């Protein structure tokens, strides 16, 4: 590129100009490359991913002859378990939100129940993969026996505009579980997760506000997810409030057995998962499951759970608390629950 520098000068001028321009270009390229790298990494981890390739999913199965919703009845005690491996069914219950609220912990706690069968990964069917079709979605589900409940969790459903209409189309009887958490703490946790994968990300303050401590930037997903009342408005166009259970992310940490008990009641299940299944891990700062009989060690969530939060200035926290307060109060009114965030 240096040789293509000045077309109108002599040989000496050409060499000098080319050398100067090349040095300047190289000086500009380094910071530009760093900016592009950081933005690419942020988009990779902060923006929604793609639908997994069809080849990695189980083969599609024919559409069900029975209605997609099945009853939540329990097996009669004492009856022998059928030798059949069961059938793949559409989920009767979904954990639809929210990201960084405690959805993974809740799912793992519920999987202790013998009448709960849940998909371990997040299929993202109703937000990213809907064009694959319901037969493809059902093919992802674990096999269940009569009386068992099929579940999956994808926290981004709660903030996806099309998700409630699509879920209602699958079954208007679907039970919906939403784990919510103080939206300020949730936003910081969301940021911490992205920062752990994208070192060099702008500060929390720079992303949460426009122009320093100007207006709150609701275009940033970490802030927008916490507008629970707005998202719930969209869901109530398709499902009555009685189809929802709102789980406190804070109480899921302080009283996991109590919150899981509420979920079991909501699903029509016997309270099998109780306080005897939990112990508090002081290092991680949240509950873990006691080891099962014959197991080598207790079960805790992965190392990505319970990561320390970055320090956020108190002025930033207070501004966000004031911003969320009216939305929180509306959410309390809509759900009939005071989560105590204000």
In which band, very low, low, confident or very high, does the pLDDT at 1 lie, cut at 50, 70 and 90?
very low
What is the pTM for the complete model shown? 0.76
The tally of domains found in the chain comes to 1
The reply, when asked if residue 309 is annotated as ligand binding, is yes
Query: pLDDT for 129-147, tens place per residue?
Result: 999 999 999 999 999 999 9
State the pLDDT at residue 305. 57
In which band, very low, low, confident or very high, does the pLDDT at 331 lie, cut at 50, 70 and 90?
very high
In which band, very low, low, confident or very high, does the pLDDT at 285 lie, cut at 50, 70 and 90?
confident
pLDDT, mean over the chain:
81
Query: pLDDT for 95-123, tens place per residue?
Result: 999 999 999 999 999 999 999 999 999 99
Residue range(s) defining the domain that contains residue 180: 87-335
Q: Is residue 228 part of a domain?
A: yes
Q: Is the pLDDT of residue 193 over 60?
A: yes
State the pLDDT at residue 54. 44
Query: pLDDT for 200-237, tens place per residue?
Result: 999 999 999 998 889 999 999 999 999 999 999 999 99
Q: Is residue 46 part of a domain?
A: no
Q: Is residue 61 part of a domain?
A: no
Query: pLDDT for 222-277, tens place per residue?
Result: 999 999 999 999 999 999 999 999 999 999 999 999 999 999 999 999 999 999 99
The reply, when asked if residue 113 is annotated as ligand binding, is no
Q: Is the pLDDT of residue 176 over 70?
A: yes
In which band, very low, low, confident or very high, does the pLDDT at 31 lie, cut at 50, 70 and 90?
very low
Contact 341, 183 (CB under 8 A): yes
- Pairwise CA distance, residues 38 & 198, whole Å: 7
The reply, when asked if residue 169 is annotated as ligand binding, is no
The reply, when asked if residue 254 is annotated as ligand binding, is no
Q: Is residue 283 part of a domain?
A: yes
Q: Is the pLDDT of residue 321 over 70?
A: yes
The reply, when asked if residue 104 is annotated as ligand binding, is yes
More confident residue, 298 or 63: 298
More confident residue, 63 or 299: 299
In which band, very low, low, confident or very high, does the pLDDT at 300 lie, cut at 50, 70 and 90?
confident
Give the Cα-Cα-Cα angle 320, 161, 242 (nearest 5 degrees). Answer: 85
The reply, when asked if residue 291 is annotated as ligand binding, is no
Q: Indicate which residues carry an active-site annotation.
A: 100
State the pLDDT at residue 327. 98
User: In this structure, what CATH number is given to the domain that contains residue 252?
Assistant: 3.40.50.300
Q: Is residue 50 part of a domain?
A: no
Query: pLDDT for 69-89, tens place per residue?
Result: 333 333 333 334 444 589 999
């Amino acid at each position: 590129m240096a040789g293509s520098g000045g077309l109108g000068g002599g040989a000496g001028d050409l060499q000098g100009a080319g050398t100067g321009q090349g040095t300047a270009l190289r000086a500009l390229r380094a910071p530009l490359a760093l900016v592009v790298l950081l933005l690419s990494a942020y988009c990779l981890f902060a923006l929604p991913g793609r639908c997994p390739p069809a080849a990695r999913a189980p083969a599609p199965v024919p559409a069900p002859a029975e209605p997609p919703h099945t009853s939540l009845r329990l097996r009669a005690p004492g009856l022998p378990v059928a030798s059949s491996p069961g059938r793949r069914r559409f989920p009767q219950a979904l954990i639809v939100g929210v990201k960084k609220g405690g959805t993974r912990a809740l799912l793992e706690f519920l999987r202790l129940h013998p009448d709960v069968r849940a998909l371990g990964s997040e299929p993202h069917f109703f937000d990213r993969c809907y064009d694959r079709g319901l037969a493809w979605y059902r093919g992802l589900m674990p096999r269940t026996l009569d009386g068992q409940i099929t579940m999956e969790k994808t926290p981004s459903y709660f903030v996806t505009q099309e998700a409630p209409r699509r879920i209602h189309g699958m079954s208007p009887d679907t039970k919906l579980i939403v784990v919510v958490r103080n939206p300020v703490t949730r936003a910081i946790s969301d940021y911490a997760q992205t920062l752990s994968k994208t070192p060099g990300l702008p500060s929390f303050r720079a992303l949460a506000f426009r122009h320093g401590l100007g207006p709150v930037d609701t275009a940033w997903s970490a802030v927008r997810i916490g507008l629970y009342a707005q998202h719930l408005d969209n869901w109530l166009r398709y499902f009555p409030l009685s189809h929802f259970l709102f789980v406190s992310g804070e109480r899921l940490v302080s009283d996991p057995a109590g919150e899981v008990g509420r979920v079991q009641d909501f699903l029509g299940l016997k309270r099998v998962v109780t306080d005897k299944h939990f112990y508090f891990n002081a290092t991680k700062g949240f509950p873990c499951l006691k080891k099962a009989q014959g197991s080598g060690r207790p079960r805790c969530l992965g190392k990505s759970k319970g990561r320390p939060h970055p320090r956020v200035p108190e002025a930033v926290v207070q501004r966000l608390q004031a911003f969320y307060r009216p939305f929180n109060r509306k959410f309390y009114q809509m759900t009939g629950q005071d989560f105590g965030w204000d």
